[in-house]
Chain A
């Protein structure tokens, strides 16, 4: 029996080592492949991804515009991330044809490509984006182009004015110097040149006009495929489309920017989640309206190659909430009432963090800086007693608490961490008591 087990072990070990060796020796192979380039609505903005041939299902949120663009590109497997990558910069051929949408085996709609643009009302990378198609797309893109052209003209004017200003200012300084050297000690009555103000940057952004199939479907399962101009089906274009809805809407979630790492933000979306801190923190809270989606569906929507679990749900931030105040409290006691304010992150060479978060004020505005972010700043003082505090949102107009907006901030007693090594001894103490008492009973 022992011999059999040893043999089994050796076999398993050999196969494991062999497989590992094969895995590490593989080099990526480039293949030309039909893929769908996806621009999917993710609750507030649009996620860009692609669907390789290995994924048979595409996921979308119901009743929202999503863009599908069939392309021929180079696809290769990247073992480190265990994902297929698309080399769009090497090959990005647009596939012609019509998109057929099927349900229950029957074609329910045939789509032609439409021109579209992604419009970001608060600039590229901001939280919200919309899709505009056809004439509206052209209108928004033209509006953006006109605004950029106008900005460029204003910038040219600004740089010319700035050069003139520097020249005038130098002349002014030279005149002051000349008069002082000439023995003039009285007030100098020449006007000081005024520095020109920089133009306001274009706040919104619209992407280049592009063609794609615009899909807006109700909840359900569909199939899609591309029919080429000659009437044949394009090989590899058949995919399943799952259109899903949110399970719950209108929850309140928080994005927290810790003062010590402002680029690495944390989310506190469930009321049961607890914010653990030591008690020397500057935290910037941003409340959001949020919708709850199935984790698997949502992750696959962001990128069809993502993984997720069907039995899991996740909150997705949809809209920032502005008209509220934040309260930091303990029990019924309110410790801080906080309003939303703009902040500016200043890079500091040599400092420990490399930056400083400062309140955005008129001085920074005068210098032409834009606020880095807007937020509710909660300060946790190191002298606060180590217990549980609450953060909640209240309506700024009537002071009414916002439903399910309360979160717990738990201040940990880090100084007691050394006691942790003493606690495990208690079963041994119980053991000594049990065994000795038995020994006494037996002896008696």
Chain B
């Protein structure tokens, strides 16, 4: 047990340092903060001198955008992390040693989660500076959203690793990720469009399609990590502690399920590309 933990720790450290010493990570943080600054600048410019805006969470929308961009980066990094090692053959080499699928996946998970936590640390500093310069409040709600962000990133990373566990090449991982996220979006749009049609006017096939899409849409709400993101940040805005902790619990369950599935698939799939 201790040996297994040590292996995970060594792999985790190696992976984390590798990511922290690369430009990409800082570039993504810059892009996400720049997008937030753009929104905030427009928001401030939008308030006329003699106008008001009543809001408890003026920084929540930019925070949402920041977390979305960071999540997209992390889901991509996670999605290619195993397939890249598979493609390069490093996975095979590692598995000749004392490394097991569980150690390897947990190291990847902790690495990506830590990258996310560090990003949230940067995000906190960014919003603190924004608050100092503009007087837009750094509210307790923002701190709650950042805490929720840790669990949301956990979902995103587990989802990314799950995709990576069954793909053999980097390109396949990226295509699978885009296809899945695209499918989620397409189903959401199709369902919304069908909802816009009067029930009585729908032909029988379209009515059944709407019913099917409704069920699929409900399912997506529990599969897509971005649905968890919306729900989690909603619970912060609603200022409901039971909802906040329920969402955290959901995120933990989601992460455990997807990580277990990833370990299972990786064991079945093997180490070769």
Residue pair A272, B56 in contact (C-beta under 8 Å): yes
Q: Does B172 contact A (CB under 8 A)?
A: yes
Residue pair B26, A414 in contact (C-beta under 8 Å): no
Q: Does B126 contact A (CB under 8 A)?
A: yes
CB-nearest residue of chain B relative to A270? B56
Bound: A12/B193 CA distance, A: 13
Residue from B187, B189, B197, B200 in contact with A79 in the complex, judged by beta carbons closer than 8 Å = B197
Taking A276-B52, A421-B37 as contacts, is the C-beta distance between A16 and B190 under 8 angstroms?
yes
Q: Does A267 contact B (CB under 8 A)?
A: yes
What does the 1/0 interface line of B6-38 toward A look like (CB < 8 Å)?
000000000000001101011101100110110
Residue pair B51, A278 in contact (C-beta under 8 Å): yes
**Chain B positions within 8 Å of A430 at CB level:** 26, 122
Q: At the interface with chain B, which of A39-47, A66-74, A194-202, A252-260?
A: A252-260
Residue pair A276, B130 in contact (C-beta under 8 Å): no
Bound: A258/B47 CA distance, A: 12
How many chain A residues sit at the interface, stated as a range, is 35 or more
What does the 1/0 interface line of B39-56 toward A look like (CB < 8 Å)?
011001101111111111
Interface residue ranges of B187-226 to A (CB < 8 Å): 187, 189-190, 193-201, 206, 209
Bound: A196/B81 CA distance, A: 89
How many chain B residues sit at the interface, stated as a range, is 35 or more
Residue pair B26, A274 in contact (C-beta under 8 Å): no
Bound: A239/B57 CA distance, A: 39
B214–chain A nearest beta-carbon distance, Å = 14
B121–chain A nearest beta-carbon distance, Å = 10
**Chain A positions within 8 Å of B135 at CB level:** 386-388, 410-413
Residue pair A431, B52 in contact (C-beta under 8 Å): no
Q: Does B176 contact A (CB under 8 A)?
A: yes
CB-nearest residue of chain B relative to A79? B196
Bound: A260/B47 CA distance, A: 12
**Chain B positions within 8 Å of A188 at CB level:** none
**Chain A positions within 8 Å of B141 at CB level:** 272
Q: Does B175 contact A (CB under 8 A)?
A: yes
Residue from B55, B197, B200 in contact with A22 in the complex, judged by beta carbons closer than 8 Å = B197
Residue pair A423, B54 in contact (C-beta under 8 Å): no
Q: Does B89 contact A (CB under 8 A)?
A: no
Residue pair A258, B51 in contact (C-beta under 8 Å): yes
What does the 1/0 interface line of A353-390 toward B look like (CB < 8 Å)?
00000000000000000000000000000100011100
**Chain A positions within 8 Å of B2 at CB level:** none
Q: At the interface with chain B, which of A99-107, A171-179, A280-288?
A: A280-288
**Chain A positions within 8 Å of B44 at CB level:** 412, 414, 417, 420
**Chain B positions within 8 Å of A16 at CB level:** 186, 189-190, 193
Taking A5-B176, A22-B197 as contacts, is the C-beta distance between A12 and B34 under 8 angstroms?
no
CB-nearest residue of chain B relative to A269? B54
Bound: A33/B201 CA distance, A: 15
**Chain B positions within 8 Å of A417 at CB level:** 40-41, 44-45, 134
Residue pair A435, B23 in contact (C-beta under 8 Å): yes
Residue from B21, B50, B196 in contact with A435 in the complex, judged by beta carbons closer than 8 Å = B21
Q: Does B249 contact A (CB under 8 A)?
A: no
Residue pair A275, B48 in contact (C-beta under 8 Å): no
CB-nearest residue of chain B relative to A386? B135
B219–chain A nearest beta-carbon distance, Å = 16
Q: List 16 contacting pairs A-B, 8 Å CB cutoff, sorted by A.
A: A2-B175, A5-B175, A8-B179, A22-B206, A23-B193, A258-B50, A258-B51, A267-B54, A311-B243, A410-B135, A412-B135, A420-B130, A420-B133, A424-B37, A428-B30, A434-B20
The 7 closest A-B pairs by CB, nearest first: A431-B26, A424-B33, A77-B198, A427-B29, A12-B186, A420-B37, A5-B179
**Other than the known A258-B51, A431-B23, what 12 A-B pairs have Cβ atoms closer than 8 Å?**
A5-B179, A12-B187, A12-B190, A23-B194, A23-B197, A29-B201, A82-B195, A277-B51, A311-B243, A410-B136, A412-B136, A417-B40
Give the A-binding residues of B (Cβ under 8 A). Answer: 20-21, 23, 25-27, 29-30, 33-34, 36-37, 40-41, 44-45, 47-56, 58, 122, 125-126, 129-130, 133-137, 139, 141, 171-172, 175-176, 179, 182-183, 186-187, 189-190, 193-201, 206, 209, 238-240, 243
